[in-house]
Amino acid sequence: MGLPFQRGRRPTTEEEDQEARARKRQRWEAWLVVEKRIEAHWREVEEFMNRPSYGVPASKWAIVRLYMPRWCDLTRGEHRCAICLEDLEPRDRMRMMPCRHSFHQRCIFKWLQINRLCPICQFALPSDEEQRLLDEKAAKP
Ligand SMILES: [Zn+2]
Ligand SMILES: [Zn+2]
């Protein structure tokens, strides 16, 4: 049995090998975790970018022309605003998308200025550009 410092300093080659292999494996495993995180990150970015029209605001005209539903226009079971998650009340100002989903006016107006898709079913209101084309088409005899 040698002195303690000798044991520490002069391990057998096999011990050295094992230690080196273990370190290598640890580094590799750590890298795999990082790599998975990077992969997941890029997948999220890609999904985000591929979502149709994300971040395209609706045309202001399309927004203000949204139908103002009366209480009786709401479909049964749809008395909750999907944006603020609060109940719609008969006295609230509401707007209905062409897909027949209704929201508080203040909520859907704010939403559509950022994103023209219906928060429930992704129905797309026209963007400024599309609205211009639609108006041009409508103006033609
Ligand atoms: Zn709301
Ligand atoms: Zn909808």
Ion ligand 1: residues, CB within 5 A, are 81, 83-84, 104, 107
Judge contact between 117 and 97, C-beta under 8 A. no
Q: SS3 string of the chain?
A: CCCHHHHHHCCCHHHHHHHHHHHHHHHHHHHHHHHHHHHHHHHHHHHHHHCCCCCCCCCHHHHHCCECCCHHHCCCCCCECCCCCCECCCCCCEEECCCCCEEEHHHHHHHHCCCCECCCCCCECCCHHHHHHHHHHHHCC
% of the chain at pLDDT higher than 70: 85
> What's the CATH number for 60-139?
3.30.40.10
Say which ligand is closest to the CA of 100.
2
Mean pLDDT of the chain: 85
How far away, in angstroms, is 79 Cα from ligand 2 center?
Answer: 14
User: Distance from the CA of 107 to the center of ligand 2, in angstroms?
Assistant: 14
pLDDT band (50, 70, 90) for residue 16: confident
Which residues, 6+ apart, have CB-to-CB distance to 48 below 8 Å? 54
CA–centroid distance, 60 to ligand 2, in Å, is 18
How far, CA to CA in Å, does 38 sit from each of 33, 41, 44, 46, 76?
9, 5, 10, 12, 45
The tens digit of pLDDT for each residue in 33-92 reads: 888 888 887 777 777 666 654 578 999 999 999 999 999 888 777 789 999 999 999 999
Of 11-20, 38-47, 124-133, which has the strongest mean pLDDT?
A: 124-133
Cα(125) to ligand 2 centroid in Å equals 10
Cα 85 to averaged position of ligand 1 atoms, centre (Å) = 6
105 vs 6, higher pLDDT: 105
CA of 103 to the centre of ligand 2 (A): 10
Residues in contact with 24: Cβ distance below 8 Å, sequence separation at least 6, in sequence order: none
% of the chain at pLDDT higher than 90: 45
